Amino acid sequence: MIKKIDEALRTIKDRVGFTPDIAVVLGSGLGALADAIENPIVIPYEEIPHWPMSTAPGHAGRLVAGSFCGKSVVAMQGRLHFYEGYQMDQVVFPVRVFGRWGIPYFVASNASGGIGYGLVPGDMVLIHDHINLMGTNPLIGPNLSELGERFPDMSYAYDRDLLDIAEEVSRDKGITTRRGVYVAFTGPSYETPAEIRMARTLGADVVGMSTVPEVIVARQAGMKVFAVSCVANYAAGMTASALSEQEVLDEMGKAAGKLTALVGGVIEKLEM
């Protein structure tokens, strides 16, 4: 695995030429943030050795590096999902590359279903914890010490200082946010109403099909993590309406501006 990671990283470094301050993963329909990156260097995933292709709708499948809000960044314009048929080590391969690159910060965004009764489509939830119901963990298997310790602590997987910064930015920019717990299922089918009731009982506020494996690997690599979830729809059983992929993409298109402002504000305040 180390050989594959280093081959991918060597190709990226030959094109980019600098070590970014922040790695960003953009979720379904949220790729517009990459358009705000200045002096962009764009690398399609198919040009990176061993880098899996993104097949989900709303994921462009490009790596974009450049300057954003005064910091150097590399953004995944489209992530990889377990439900696409990839093995978990493939899903988290990009994050392992970022960790190997020595990038100190990892920022993730996603589209989610709102479980909490006070959440409505378009709301921004600052993830402060997660529940892994994907039935697996990306660290299962032989441990490679070069990638991090065998048993990484997950007590504060989502950096408390970054959460405080995000709330400060939210107030300054007039963006309504709340902290919440993200629960991850494998998908690709949406959850049943019974599963949503279970998740609510467990303490979850939003539900999705990503992010958790990436965060686990980012923390193993020693990266500081910030994650924001954009509520795309009410979770199953909360309304009489059926859930649809197009609804998610449409709502995320509306939320892209708020996400860019929020993430940009957080990045701007980071001390490197």
DSSP secondary structure letters along 66-113 = EEETTEEEEEEES---GGGT--HHHHTHHHHHHHHHT--EEEEEEEEE
Cα–Cα distance, 23 to 106 (Å, whole number) = 5
Residue 60 confidence class, pLDDT cut points 50, 70, 90: confident
Question: Taking 80 as the threshold, does the pLDDT of residue 96 lie above it?
Answer: yes
81 is annotated as contributing to ligand binding = yes
The percentage of residues in the chain with a pLDDT greater than 90, rounded to a whole number, is 75
Residue 108 Cα to chain centre, angstroms: 3
Q: For the whole model, what pTM was predicted?
A: 0.93
Say how many Å lie between the first and final Cα of the chain, rounded. Answer: 30
Cα–Cα distance, 79 to 82 (Å, whole number) = 10
The pLDDT score that the predictor gives to residue 29 is 59
Question: Taking 90 as the threshold, does the pLDDT of residue 198 lie above it?
Answer: yes
Residue 257 confidence class, pLDDT cut points 50, 70, 90: confident
User: 163 Cβ partners below 8 Å, 6+ apart?
Assistant: 126, 128, 179, 226
Residue 80 Cα to chain centre, angstroms: 10
Q: How far is CA 146 from CA 196, 221, 258, in A?
A: 38, 9, 37
62 is annotated as contributing to ligand binding = no
Residues 141-154 have pLDDT tens digits of 999 999 999 999 99
Mean pLDDT of 37-45: 95
Ordered by where they begin, the domains of the chain are 2-269 (3.40.50.1580)
Residue 57 confidence class, pLDDT cut points 50, 70, 90: low
The pLDDT score that the predictor gives to residue 196 is 95
126 is annotated as contributing to ligand binding = no
210 is annotated as contributing to ligand binding = yes
Cα–Cα distance, 69 to 20 (Å, whole number) = 13
8 is annotated as contributing to ligand binding = no
User: Which stretch of 78-87, 149-158, 177-186, 207-216 has the lowest confidence by average pLDDT?
Assistant: 78-87
Give DSSP secondary structure letters for 168-235. Answer: HHHHHHT--EEEEEEEE---SSPPPHHHHHHHHHHT-SEEESSSHHHHHHHHHTT-EEEEEEEEEEEP
User: 179 Cβ partners below 8 Å, 6+ apart?
Assistant: 125, 126, 127, 128, 163, 167
28 is annotated as contributing to ligand binding = yes
Say which residue, 27 or 9, is predicted with more confidence: 9
128 is annotated as contributing to ligand binding = no
Give DSSP secondary structure letters for 17-72. Answer: -S--SEEEEE-TT-GGGGGG-EEEEEEEGGGSTTPPPP-STT---EEEEEEETTEE
Report the phi/psi class of residue 174: left, alpha or beta, with left for phi > 0 and alpha for psi in -120 to 50: left
The pLDDT score that the predictor gives to residue 240 is 62
Residue 78 confidence class, pLDDT cut points 50, 70, 90: confident
